[in-house]
Each structure stands twice: as structure tokens, then as C-alpha cells.
Copies of this chain bind each other. A is one copy, B any other.
């Protein structure tokens, strides 16, 4: 017991005893056993973070932000990759529960509402990124894509674009629906509608496929808005191969502002999201919830249009 007190800096031990304990610990290369600590105590100082695909450059940045914030407060991160599969998401959330994590952050959850709520409720605390949820169940950090995309679409219209197409991402993505809604909002203000629409996987190949389908459909289009930058970059290569000028013939807009966006030619116009800040904010909110001070339930981050060479 005395040793325990000394090792945890609880005081209540004479200076001499303290020194002896510390010396013994050092000579034995003592390290506390996390399992024993966790078995008794009700805290594991571990947090789970779930992302749809770590291979998508958006998420490592979020993880990085979250990890830095976690570490600063003495928490370790358990990163779980779901590979875009809702089943895996449920599975992973259960595993995290078994591991007695103190809380979970779920990025862009792919599970439908009811099952998501079921998977999350048993957790002591949770924060969702880009997905609404009753405050009792989870805190939320939302990027206001609806406003962001409405704004961007208005800009496109102001530049004379009328025949706008949308290439969407996973059907289960809440933020994807918001992006689409924002576009429709702006379009409606001008009595316009989407002239074409495709849905695809949120990666380069998905962009290539969708752009090909779009080109094959014969619909004339003067702007394409994409669910994310990866899709936009894939589409860009198809447009270029088809001999279309970007932005001369067709304007192109991505979303996320990943590293590659400014490297392609022409550099991709996109909607910038502060990815590390997102992870940082989520982690702070989660730790607040874990520690019982639930200051705020919902944070909304405004994304920012970055016009580069494709609009």
C-alpha cells in the first residue's frame, strides 16, 4: 500500500520511505500493470477512434489532431479502421467496449441511425464527427457542409455555370446528404436543378468510374461538384483524357482540401476543412464528457471555399 501511494504521488509517506520505494522500483525496472489498474479502477485512460478508411488522406489528419490532444491529457488512442463497412463499424465499437475504453470518437459513421445509437449508447462517453445525435448519447462536431456547399454553388452560378452535376459518395454518409442539400439550396434560389447525378466510392477509382459514367450519359455539363477531393481528382483525369478543358469547358470542385488537391494540375478548387482541429476539438469534447463536465454538446465548424485552378 505504501508503495502504491508513493508511485501514484499520493503523499502520506515519509521522505525516507518514499526514497526507498522509488529506489526499489527503479532497480526492479518496475512498471505498473495496466490490466490490474483497469480491473479495479473504472478508468482505462484509453480512447477509441473509429474512421471509415485510414487510407483516405482526410482521416490520418483527424487522427493526428486527436492523438496530440489525447496524449497531452494522458490518454492513449486506439485507432480502428472500418474499411467503409457498416458491419465492421458495429463490430469495432463492441470490441472497444470490451477493452473498456473511456470513450469513443466516431468519424463519419456509416451505420444507420438506430444501430449506430445502439452501438454507442453502452459507451461511457462518445463524440461523433459529422453525424447528428441526441446530446444524451453523444457530443457532435459538425462541419457545416450544407452552408459551405451552398456558398460554393452560388459562386459557380455567379460565374455563369448553369448545368451542374454532382458526384456523391457513400449513400450512408450523413455529411454527403448535407453537401447535396446545400447544392440544391443554392440551385433552387436560381430556379435551377442538378442536371446529372452519380454516386460512387470516395476514392480515386470511384471518381474515375463516376466521371466516365457521366461522360457516357451524353448529358452536357459545365460544372461538376464532387463529394470529396479524391473523387474530384479521379474525375479530373477523365475529363482531361476526354479532351475537355478545366475550367474552360467544365468547372470542378472538390471537398476536404487534402494535400493532393493543391498538387494536381490545374490545382483543385475545394472546400477546406481544418482536419487536425477537428480531431483536437473532438478529443477535448470527449474528455470533457468523460470527466463529467459536459460544457457543450455540439460544435459547428464552418468550412471555407478555396478557389484554385478548376473553377
Contacts and interface: CB of A to CB of B under 8 A. Distances in A.
A65 to B, nearest CB: 10
B260 A98 contact: no
Contact of A76 (B97, B99, B204): B99
A28 interface: no
A71 B176 CA distance: 29
A31 B123 CA distance: 13
Interface in A43-86: 44, 54-55, 57, 59-61, 63-64, 67-68, 76-81, 83
Nearest to A99: B34
A57 B55 CA distance: 8
Taking residues whose C-beta sits less than 8 angstroms from the other chain, chain A's interface range is 35 or more
A76 B54 contact: no
Interface string A21-44: 000000001011111101100001
B31 A39 contact: no
Given A76-B78, A204-B259, A259-B260, A35 B32 contact: no
Q: What's the number of copies of this chain in the assembled complex?
A: 2
Given A31-B98, A54-B60, A60-B54, A67 B38 contact: no
A100 interface: yes
A117 interface: no
A19 interface: no
A61 B67 contact: no
A35 B94 CA distance: 15
A158 interface: no
Given A60-B55, A204-B259, A100 B35 contact: yes
A64 B60 contact: no
Nearest to A276: B55
A265 interface: yes
A67 B81 contact: yes
Contacts of A99: 34, 76
A44 B98 CA distance: 12
Contact of A79 (B31, B79, B100, B233): B79
A259 B31 contact: no
B204 A100 contact: no
Contacts of A295: none
Interface in A75-113: 76-81, 83, 94-95, 97-100
Interface of A: 29, 31-36, 38-39, 44, 54-55, 57, 59-61, 63-64, 67-68, 76-81, 83, 94-95, 97-100, 122, 204, 233, 259-260, 263-265
Q: Which 8 A-B pairs have the closest CB atoms?
A: A265-B265, A35-B38, A79-B79, A35-B39, A260-B260, A35-B35, A54-B60, A60-B60
15 contacts: A31-B97, A32-B98, A34-B99, A34-B100, A35-B38, A35-B44, A55-B64, A57-B57, A60-B60, A67-B81, A76-B78, A78-B78, A259-B260, A260-B260, A263-B264
Given A76-B99, A264-B265, 7 more contacts: A34-B35, A35-B35, A35-B36, A54-B67, A59-B60, A76-B80, A264-B264
